[in-house]
Structure 1
Amino acid sequence: MEAQDRLDLYRTMVLIRTYEEAILREYHADKKPVFDIGAGLVPGEMHLSAGQEPVAAGVCAHLTGDDAVTATHRPHHFAIAHGVDLQRMTAEIFGRTTGLGGGRGGHMHLFDPAVHFSCSGIIAEGYPPALGQALAFQRRGTDRIAVAVTGEGAANQGAFHESLNLAALWKLPVVFVVEDNDWGISVPRSASTCVTSNADRAAGYGIPGVRVEDNSVEAVHEAAGQAVARARAGEGPSLIEVHTLRLWGHFEGDAQGYRSDLDGVPGRDPLPTYENQLRADGELDDAKVAGFRAAASERVEAAIAFAKESPEPDPATALDFVFARA
């Protein structure tokens, strides 16, 4: 890879991590002394993607705003990497009227038509809509593609298999991405899935499948480049599974008592791993690291401030967008 491409991947990963750390801070700021999931400026569940930055950075480096991405209930990393408006996304997370959905969807239901991004709290829900987008792109004769993301647990859902089958049958321009962070909430992959790699399931549908190990952003970038090129050329879908890492809990407030691997998690953090790799190759130094971090912090804190300064929805509008008016 070119040095600038590698630095761009690192920059994206830094922005994602900076954002997740800020949301973590804001989410917990007013939920003390006893954790109350319904309290505070950001009430409700929160699923953060720290540790999974390489997947989003590596895949989205090949996409444009005309391509579509459907993500999971843990969506921030893909939203950021795909160019979703950071201020409006943050306002949505805070439940404000300036949010992507007017503050009504929250962090698991982000929708930005400007870059064709959506996500859902329903397991494997994003796969079928991605097929619809890909079919539209195909029928219009464009080279636009759809990327459908889900977790390894969702690969056991019917929507996963139905989507792979139909996409293969119609040679739709889709790239299926599975983020294998080892845990489906508290259930290890070995206790729920009969194969060691979901990428092997691609063969059952006659499409390419590859598993990327070690949470390597450059390996993801390479695999995604091949899959995206195949889709744009009209050759049909591909499946990529990335063995990634859930650095924090399944949700905020998760004590993670079930995790036997927890002690070793910090040493597998992909951000310092990639930073050290770039330093060793002479492409990154203290000044560049400081610059990337400062730029990311400035963007993120501006988005947080925008969200906090935005108004909350008027309770009188609770039924707006629910019922059609005669």
Structure 2
Amino acid sequence: MPDMVAERSDQLVEQLREMMLIREFESRVGTLFENNELPGFVHLSIGQEAVATGACSVIEEDDYITSTHRGHGHSIAKGLDPDRMMAELFGKETGYCGGKSGSMHIADVDQGMLGANGIVGAGPALATGAGLSIDQNGEDRVCLSFFGDGAMAEGPVHESMNLAGVRDLPVVFICENNQYGEMTPAEDQHHVEGFEARGDVYDMPAETVDGMSVQEVYMATAEAVKRARNGEGPSLVVCETYRYRGHYEGDPMNYRTDDEVSEWKKRDPIDSLESSLVEEGFLDESDVEAMRDDASDRIDGAVEFARESEFPAEETAFEDVYTEDI
């Protein structure tokens, strides 16, 4: 039992470290965007770090994920390099997609990150396709599909869940219910009492968890991934979470109150885990401060890398438009 406690505490420390890195990356991105250093739009997931970290802690390096337009956290949790991510946001050739994708379409298929996606609800269809490929090739892989509460009203999400259920595909559908689809409250978009009910429709296990708790997300995802690897088909995990920033950077956020945001911040996933680990004696305040400094230094390096990288040459504009014939 002591070994199990030590192993779990080590994992929690690493999860805290990862959430801090995600938070630092996105906080810096917000500042850079405000200072007009980044082209295009950025959508931040500050406040939602426990979902990406908890879920991706379960899977292996050769497993897959699909993401959303709010995908920086998912990307870092899957193991993508913050240097190349930041370069992509700057539009530089050293970015994951040669500076052509920007924030909303970062992908690294070799790393199992099948893409952030600017189309709401598009990720689950890609995940179901990946699950079908895994099944047909007899591989020991799974695919996590992250999507938001707004996407739960999109047709492709339901088509994907239905097909995954029919074929018993190794897909875990992870709904990040951050309470708003763009500017519309979730309860005004859906005529259903909790998204867990969607699992009943497709006869798949469904569970709603506290998406501000990395431990709850981890445990629910671990059970779903276990089922998927055992050939028992897909699951739905609904994570009740919250984004502290607007739908996009510059969003005036007139649709919610400061009190509401403050109440959710009291449940901050990083602060909560940090306090728990200090109280239980697994970390002290100096450890926590060192972890914060490490995250800040790491992102300092990523920004420097991005700024010093070159923009792609004009003649590459039409490269990578079509895939090679298979």
One fold, TM greater than 0.5? yes
User: What is the match of residue 32 of structure 2?
Assistant: 26
Which contiguous aligned blocks of 4+ residues in structure 1 show a shift greater than 6 angstroms? Answer: none
SS of corresponding position for 1:111: coil
Q: Is the 8 Å Cα contact of residues 51 and 211 (structure 2) preserved in structure 1? A: no
Measure, in 2, the Cα distance between the counterparts of 1:324 and 1:263. Answer: 47
The residue aligned with 2:275 is 276
2:41 equivalent to 1:45: yes
**What is residue 247 of structure 2 aligned with on the other side?**
250
Is it true that 1:112 corresponds to 2:138 in the alignment? no
Q: Deviations over 1:98-127 (max 9, x none)?
A: 111111110100111221111110011011
Give the conservation status (yes or no) of the 8 Å contact 1:171–1:237.
Answer: yes
How far did residue 269 of structure 1 move?
Answer: 2.2
What amino acid maps onto 2:31 in structure 1?
A: R
Q: Does structure 1 residue 58 correspond to structure 2 residue 54?
A: yes
Question: What is the root-mean-square deviation of aligned Cα atoms in Å?
Answer: 1.6
In the TM superposition, residue 291 of structure 1 has moved relative to its aligned partner by 2.1
What's the TM-score, normalizing by structure 2?
0.93
State how far apart, in whole Å, the 1-side matches of 2:73 and 2:211 are: 18
CA distance in 1 between counterparts of 2:202 and 2:133 reads 22
User: Counterpart of 1:244 in structure 2: which amino acid?
Assistant: T
SS in 1 for 2:110: coil
Shift in Å at residue 311 of structure 1?
0.7
Are the equivalent residues in 2 in contact too, given 1:247–1:269 (CA < 8 A)? no
- Cα distance in 1 between the residues matched to 2:220 and 2:88: 32
Structure 2 residue matching 1:148: 3-state secondary structure: strand
Residue identity in the other structure for 2:62: D
The offset of 1:259, in angstroms, is: 0.7
Evaluate the alpha carbon distance shift between residue 90 and residue 164 of structure 1 in structure 2; reply closer, same or farther with a 3 A threshold: same
Partner of 1:219: 216
Which string of whole-angstrom CA distances, capped at 9 and with x for unpartnered residues, describes residues 112-171 of structure 1? 122111111001101111111111112222210011110011011111111111001000
Per-residue deviation, residues 79-110 of structure 1 (Å, max 9, x unmatched): 00000122111111110011111111101001
Q: Which residue of 2 aligns with 1:156?
A: 153
Once residues 148 and 87 of structure 2 are traced to their aligned partners in structure 1, the CA distance between those partners, rounded to angstroms, is 26
**Counterparts of 1:190 and 1:73, CA distance in 2:** 22
Where does 1:118-137 land on structure 2 (aligned, <5 Å)?
A: 118-137=115-134
* Residue in structure 2 matched with residue 267 of structure 1 by the alignment: 266
Residues 165, 323 of structure 1: CA spacing in aligned structure 2 closer, same or farther, 3 A cutoff?
A: closer
User: 1:92 aligns to what?
Assistant: 88
CA distance in 1, matches of 2:64, 2:145: 8
> What is the alpha-carbon distance in structure 1 between the residues aligned to residue 197 and residue 57 of structure 2?
25
Q: Deviations over 1:5-59 (max 9, x none)?
A: 1112111111111111111121112xxxxxxxxxx32021110111000001110
Name the aligned partner's letter for residue 47 of structure 1.
Answer: H
Alignment-mate amino acid for residue 12 of structure 2: R
Which residue of the partner structure matches residue 296 of structure 1? 295
Q: What is residue 183 of structure 2 aligned with on the other side?
A: 186
Post-superposition Cα deviations, 1:60-86, rounded to whole Å, max 9, x if no partner, equal 001122001000000001100000122
1:95 and 1:102 in contact (8 A); partners too: yes
Counterpart contact for 2:48–2:211, Cα < 8 Å: no
Mark the runs of 5 or more structure 2 residues left unpaired by the alignment: none
Instruction: Provide the secondary structure at the position in 1 that maps to 2:105.
Output: coil
Q: 1:41 to 1:324 in 2, by over 3 A?
A: same
Instruction: Give the C-alpha shift of residue 324 in structure 1.
Output: 9.3
Secondary structure of the structure 1 residue equivalent to 2:46: coil
Structure-2 separation of matches of 1:192 and 1:166: 24
Percent identity, please. 39
Answer whether contact 2:25 2:299 (CA < 8 A) is retained.
Answer: yes
The aligned counterpart of 1:309 is 308
The DSSP-based 3-state class of the residue aligned with 1:114 is helix
